[in-house]
Chains A and B, each alone.
Chain A
Amino acid sequence: MNHISDLRVKIGPLGLKNPVIAASGTFGYGLEFEPLLDLNLLGAFIVKGISLSPRQGNPPPRIVETPCGMLNAIGLANIGLEVFLRDKLPRLKNLDTHVIVNIYGHSVDEYGELANALKGVDGISAVEVNISCPNVAEGGMAFGTDPQVSAKVTEKVVQNTDKPVIVKLSPNVTDIRLIARAVEDAGAHAVSLINTLTGMAVDIDKRIPKLANISGGLSGPAIRPVALYMVHQVVRTVKIPVIGMGGIMDCRDALEFLIAGARAVQVGTANFVNPTATVDIISGLREYCDEQGIEDINEIIGSLLLECR
């Protein structure tokens, strides 16, 4: 191959060297994966959701495998904002990739406080707002299932930050387009979808839920068709960039989302199965573009043909 395909994409004001992002909650603080891959190759990575105070998370068992997927109820266990800024961020600052911080609050004001605390902080390229965690008792998904509350949270974060704001949407709603439109109107620079689908599994011998939390969030290839259709719907509803995710395991899966109109993709559960899934997808995309003679990956994005079946 003589030419090198251009994989660069733009998420609002944020330029990525390629459209592959490691998803929050599946990639630790990035550092965990450093022994196995070069973080600088990534378009971006999103750290585990951070709250104002540290959270221990839910009691075990927290995860259970289900057909072609897994349920998790981690409960947003995290080290808290202060420790993140003090211990983790300094080790991420010199990377040649974008570090995006996922934030989670108990109230609209807390989201604002978190955004404000990250304002002007060097080494953080964007904020992803988690309004869709299904595994915490207070708030979480409640924010993401009501268009007005979603808009309020978004507005608060946008007012309190100098960074691009990505709002992560829940699929556990009647019509995801309503939420997407509400957060767009509230000033979000992009939306990412989908977070996990709420589900449960039962131990038939003990007759108890397999997760201590009873319910958990379903992820993995099992949810990919659901995710893809929601991305398709949202792409046709909002003007801001859409970041697609849900069960992407390899390059072919990523291409489905890009063709459907996602400007970038997030890779989540795949990181557990194949720790180099993100970089494997990037090289797969490069090969695909080379083979197809595509010079700019943006030619693929949103290229879905609907009329000529």
Chain B
Amino acid sequence: MMFEQKTEIIFNKNVALKTFLLGIRSQEIAAHAIPGQFVMLRIGKGPDPLLRRPFSISGTRDQDLVLILYKVVGKGTALLQEKRAGEGLSVLGPLGRGFGLPDDEQVPLLVAGGIGVAPLFFLAQTIHTTNTQIMMGFGSSNEIIPVDVMGDFKIQYSISTDDGTHGHGGLVTELLATSLEKHTWHPSSLSLFSCGPKPMLKRVAEMALEHHIPCQVSIEAVMACGMGACQGCVVRSGSHETQTYQYVCKDGPVFFSHQIDWNQP
């Protein structure tokens, strides 16, 4: 089920350095979206910027509110941050394949790098078990996205910052390593979910392989349409002999980490 709609912006608020939480009204998308799926937003009114931009869905609220966490990184997001409540926004979605949810017995471990928290918050909201743990890495303390920004949900969390201004000083993958060492979980009782910069995802994928933990990652790609028509958003999968391209928009954006060829440029 996908919809193309002119929605109303309910809020668009600053929640951390260059980071915003956008709330748009769409009963249909809120009802059909699953964690890991995304929407394409048409930010510009005219021909520049021309293309829609993909954004992970970060959650839903009150049956008709779709939440989108985003970071200002370029022309499109710079324009988006200027939009105010009451303005209209053309939305296409929900799109793509989302996360497979963990079993009731599994402990969900969520690993996020920066704005990579976006789809994982939605996942945590949906799983809604008290043993969900999220590890979040940010550059510095002013970039930290508070977990309660999405509303009230119970989750155990730990934070790392690159510059050591908050929590663990270093990489979020170090938090994951410590966590995997410290606990006596059986690998089959764990389920990893991750989203963030590629080097981080690559490291998470390696650790999942070492510890035999199933790991799903949400991948980012430049795309024009979001619905399988432009064929622009490919990611290499498989080994060298069986190498093939998968489309991030419709085969993903969520993949099992072992499906991806992490050595591609």
Contacts and interface: CB of A to CB of B under 8 A. Distances in A.
- On whether the two chains bind one another, the answer is yes
Given A60-B234, A61-B222, A62-B234, A36 B51 contact: no
B10 interface: no
A276 interface: yes
B229 A271 contact: yes
Interface string B1-28: 1101000000000000000000000000
Contacts of A48: 231
Contacts of A25: 230-231
Contacts, number: 99
B223 interface: yes
A249 interface: yes
Contact of B47 (A57, A61, A62, A221): A221
User: In which size bucket is the chain B interface?
Assistant: 20 to 34
B50 A28 contact: no
Contact of A60 (B225, B227, B235): B235
Interface stretch (A63-71, A105-113, A154-162, A288-296): A63-71
Given A67-B48, A221-B47, A273-B52, A74 B224 contact: no
Contacts of A196: none
A27 B230 CA distance: 8
B42 A64 contact: no
Interface in A272-286: 272-276
Which of A27, A60, A64, A67 has the largest count of B CB atoms less than 10 A from its CB?
A: A60
A64 B222 contact: yes
A26 B245 CA distance: 19
Contacts of B236: 59-60
A129 to B, nearest CB: 20
Given A57-B245, A62-B234, A276-B4, A32 B51 contact: no
B80 interface: no
B235 A273 contact: no
Interface in B234-265: 234-236, 244-245, 264-265
Nearest to B90: A274
Contact of A272 (B2, B52, B244, B265): B52
Given A70-B224, A77-B231, A272-B224, A35 B1 contact: yes
A220 B229 contact: no
A269 interface: yes
A33 interface: yes
A135 to B, nearest CB: 11
B143 to A, nearest CB: 21
A73 B97 CA distance: 25
A200 B112 CA distance: 34
A36 B5 CA distance: 10
Contacts of B221: 60
A72 B244 contact: no
B170 interface: no
A56 B244 CA distance: 7
B47 A220 contact: yes
Contacts of A65: 49-51, 222
A74 B244 contact: no
B228 interface: yes
B2 A36 contact: yes
Contacts of B234: 57, 59-60, 62, 77
Contacts of B264: 59-60
B49 A33 contact: no
Contacts of A269: 50, 224
B92 interface: yes
B245 to A, nearest CB: 5
B1 A57 contact: no
Given A72-B232, A220-B50, A272-B51, A77 B227 contact: no
A249 B225 CA distance: 15
B230 A272 contact: yes
B229 A272 contact: yes
B227 A32 contact: yes
A57 B232 CA distance: 10
A63 B229 contact: no
B229 A33 contact: yes
B231 A68 contact: no
Contacts of B231: 25, 48, 57, 62, 74, 77
Interface string A221-245: 1100000000000000000000000
B75 to A, nearest CB: 8
B47 A56 contact: no
A68 B244 contact: no
B54 to A, nearest CB: 12
Nearest to A208: B265
15 contacts: A28-B227, A28-B228, A33-B229, A59-B264, A63-B222, A64-B222, A68-B48, A69-B50, A70-B51, A70-B224, A72-B230, A77-B234, A220-B50, A272-B52, A275-B225
Interface of B: 1-2, 4, 42, 47-52, 90, 92, 221-225, 227-236, 244-245, 264-265
Given A25-B231, A60-B232, A274-B90, 5 more contacts: A48-B231, A60-B221, A65-B50, A70-B224, A271-B225
Q: When A and B form their complex, which 7 residue pairs have the shortest distance between CB atoms, in order from nearest?
A: A63-B232, A272-B225, A28-B229, A221-B47, A272-B224, A68-B47, A62-B232
